[in-house]
Amino acid sequence: MKTMLGAAIAAGMLALTPAAQAQQTSTRAPSLLVDTSENVPRFGRANEHAVGLRAWVFIMPSWMVGLFANVNPGWSGATNLAIGPEYTLRRGGLDVVLSLQYTGFQADSGYFRGKSESDIATERVQSSLWGLYANALFLWHHRFNDWFELQYGAGVGLGYVGGDLYRTQVYPGSAGGYNDCTGQGSPRSDYCDFANQHYNGYREGRLTDTNSGSIPPVIPWISLPHLAAHFRPHRNVDVRLDGGFALIGFYTGLAAHFVF
């Protein structure tokens, strides 16, 4: 009995020593760290809000314009920047992305005529147009892990059109290509005809003008499909790599947000 009592007392004193306490602390610490990280997932909330900025590049290839007009081979298309703020609301599996977006419609000079028109109707056209859109993207996702998902969806919106479009009648040059007409009947009456006043940097009017130009005051925004690679490097930061097709061409770019 004395031997058993002495062994119990010795075991109790050993458990109270600093070495034993340090060993117990070291075995508990890793589990506490794991629990803390698991309680703060990067993705995972059913409801989220985010604010940020998008920057896209739009590309309108010449063949796309060629679906509606005859395009001189020397014109390669147009490339423009689109930029604007975003607000994102996530509810379950759907992201609704609202944005105000500036989009350039600028293009270098090119020679165009209607699909059913002869070469006499060819004009030199140059654009400094731009659009200011209010649009919305509706994006669903397939999540691969805690920090990456693929998104897919579509967008709709409406935009105001600003800037100018210049049209000038031309005639074939002696060395190839085209030269600007200087006025009605000059220097060639067949090409520089009296069908319109498109001379000396004529500025195209709008549909709402008294003389009824061809530029609409507003244009719709339709993007289908919109595809994105969505990254969450931090709980409060996300980055979206976008790509898709809209009425004004193909686009690609980035959007970055603060998530709360």
| pLDDT one-digit tens code per residue, 159-193 | 999 999 999 999 999 888 999 999 999 999 999 99
Q: What is the mean pLDDT of residues 112-136?
A: 95
Band of residue 85 on the pLDDT scale cut at 50, 70, 90:
very high
CA distance 193 to 123: 12
Q: Is the dihedral of CA 92, 159, 126, 72 positive or negative?
A: positive
Where exactly are the structural domains of the chain? Answer: 2-37, 47-259
Specify the DSSP element, H or E, that contains 21.
Answer: helix 18-38
Q: Count CB-CB contacts under 10 A for residue 67.
A: 8
Please return the burial class of 82, using the count of CB atoms within 10 Å of its CB with bins 0-12, 13-18 and 19+: buried
At 40 the pLDDT is: 54
81 pLDDT above the threshold of 50? yes
CA distance 131 to 248: 11
CA distance 92 to 71: 47
At 34 the pLDDT is: 35
Band of residue 25 on the pLDDT scale cut at 50, 70, 90:
very low
Fold exhibited by the domain 47-259: Porin (2.40.160)
Cis peptide before 225 (omega within 30 of 0): yes
The pLDDT mean for the chain works out to 87
| pLDDT one-digit tens code per residue, 95-116 | 999 999 999 999 999 999 999 9
